[in-house]
Structure formats: C-alpha cells, structure tokens
C-alpha cells in the first residue's frame, strides 16, 4: 500500500466493475459499485457494459442482503452536480434495507 491510499475490501468484482463498502456509511452495508475504467457518469457508460454492471450490482446486493440480514435494497446514482454528484467517476450506491429502518432517501 502506498502512502495516502485507503485500504479497501472488495465485495465483488468482474472485468469492468467492482464493489466496496462506502467509507462514509449512510446505513450499515452502504456500498459502491465502481467502474474500473473512467466514465464521468451513467450517461458516459457504453451500453455494452450493461450486463457486467447488472452482474456486479446483483451479486453485491445478494451478498449484502445475506451479510446484513436485510430484506431489500436501494440503488442510487447521482449524475451531474445538480443531482448531487461529487465524484466525477461512475459509481452506484447500494443501500441494504430492513423493515422500519427509518431511512428517508429523499430528504
């Protein structure tokens, strides 16, 4: 590890995407699916990566549901500054959910 790098544990990985726990957890298990190649946002992703993106999000979600005993999950992607995108590299948030967890994603 080089100085300044944050150690991470990958949850899932395929040829073009990987998932990790978010360093700033909004809810237990909050994770990110991140593209290995640089794409600024969802609209920049080539269509031919759709199957691998779905593979990574599904396998990550299943693993998180099992590990956190959750009964559902949310996908959240912020695209462009107006929608809250801070990091200009494609990533998708996965939030494992439990009944009555009182998480309000719209506020």
Q: What is the CATH number of the domain that holds 38?
A: 3.30.428.10
Cβ atoms of residues 30 and 21 within 8 Å: yes
On whether residue 5 sits in a domain, the answer given is no
pLDDT tens track for 44-91: 999 999 999 999 999 999 999 999 999 999 999 999 999 999 999 999
The predicted pLDDT at position 32 comes to: 97
* Over residues 23-46, mean pLDDT: 94
Query: Does residue 106 have a pLDDT over 80?
Result: no
Q: What distance in Å separates the CA atoms of residue 35 and residue 17, rounded to the nearest whole number?
A: 4
Judged on CB neighbours under 10 Å (0-12, 13-18, 19+), 1 is exposed
- Report the percentage of the chain scoring pLDDT > 70: 93
30, 68, 89, 91: the active-site residue:
91
In the residue annotation, 91 being an active-site residue is answered as yes
Q: What pTM did the predictor assign?
A: 0.89
Number of separate domains in the chain: 1
- Residue 100's pLDDT band, with cuts at 50, 70 and 90, is confident
Cβ atoms of residues 93 and 77 within 8 Å: yes
Closest to 93 (Cα-Cα) out of 79, 76, 80: 76
On whether residue 4 sits in a domain, the answer given is no
Query: Does residue 43 have a pLDDT over 60?
Result: yes
Task: Residue 30: give the domain boundaries.
Answer: 10-97
């Amino acid at each position: 590890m080089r100085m300044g790098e944050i150690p991470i544990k990958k949850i899932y990985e395929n040829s073009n995407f990987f998932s990790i726990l978010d360093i700033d957890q909004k809810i237990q298990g909050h994770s990110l699916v991140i593209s290995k190649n640089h794409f600024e946002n969802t609209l920049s992703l080539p269509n031919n990566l759709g199957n691998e993106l779905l593979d990574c999000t599904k396998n990550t979600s299943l693993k998180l549901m099992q590990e956190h005993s959750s009964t559902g999950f949310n996908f959240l992607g912020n695209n462009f500054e107006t929608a809250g995108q801070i990091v200009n590299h494609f990533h998708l948030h996965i939030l494992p959910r439990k009944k009555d967890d009182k998480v309000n994603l719209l506020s």
